[in-house]
Amino acid sequence: MPDIEFSHQALMTFFSQYAYQPMYVYWFVSLFMLASSFGFPVPEELVLISSGLVAYMANHPEKFPPPYPGAEGVNVYTLAIVCFLSVLVSDFIVFLIGKFFGAKIIKTKFFQKRFAGKGFDTINSWFQKYGGWACGIFRFTPGLRFPGHLSCGLLGITVVKFLMIDGFAALVSVPTQVFIVSKYGEVILDKLAEFKMIVLSIAGVLFVVWLIKKVYQKNVRINS
């Protein structure tokens, strides 16, 4: 339990640094969302939860006092708008890149190595099944957001259609997460700390199963 307590306090201390530096938070959110949309390992959901926690702290000065009287805290409504616009603009940039340069990009070694194969087959099957509505589905599939939105532009989805579908999906998911975390921030952190041990236990079981499977397959090859 001590390590979980420490992790909880460390997270709270880290986020509280930015509760009264709103412009830093808004810029960080914009940059991280852009990186996430381009497939970099910056989970969008983690950015939203982190920014929501900062807003929670700014809304509770009795628990997280400002560095000086009258310090401006992060405004949750402004933050929700910044998060929404950052997500939508980032997705749209990837869409435009796909629209104008997609045919060249999908032939590059980088794209072929990271996204070709099963992932791209999934994207094509979703387009065949759902048409333009696939633009909204990609918003909820982290591993396929970048190649999915790139494909939206590549396959000729119109700008208006993409913005409407992706924008609606972002409007439903993004501000909601920010508002929920900003209201129940400390409770969520507590639950994450409790959940940590469960996740580690599951990971351990999966590793043992994987190891047994590998040993079994090796024995089968040797005996055959």
Distance of CA 131 to the CA centre of its chain: 24
Tokens matching residue 188: 């969520």
Query: What contacts 24, CB < 8 A, 6 or more positions away?
Result: 18
Q: How confident is the model at residue 5 (pLDDT cuts 50, 70, 90)?
A: very low
pLDDT given at position 166: 93
Number of structural domains the chain divides into = 1
Model pTM above 0.85: no
Stretch 47-52: mean pLDDT:
87
User: Between 221 and 158, whose confidence is greater?
Assistant: 158
pLDDT given at position 220: 61
Tokens matching residue 143: 């591993």
SS3 95: helix
Tens of pLDDT along 60-110?
A: 888 888 888 888 899 999 999 999 999 999 999 999 998 888 778 777 776
34: closest CA among 83, 103, 76, 75? 83
Tens of pLDDT along 191-201?
A: 655 544 555 56
The range of the structural domain enclosing residue 98 comes to: 2-223
Q: Three-state SS string across 154-200, please?
A: HCCCCHHHHHHHHHHHHHHHHHHHHHHHHHHHHHHHHHHHHHHHHHH
Structural contact between residues 11 and 56, judged by C-beta atoms closer than 8 angstroms: no
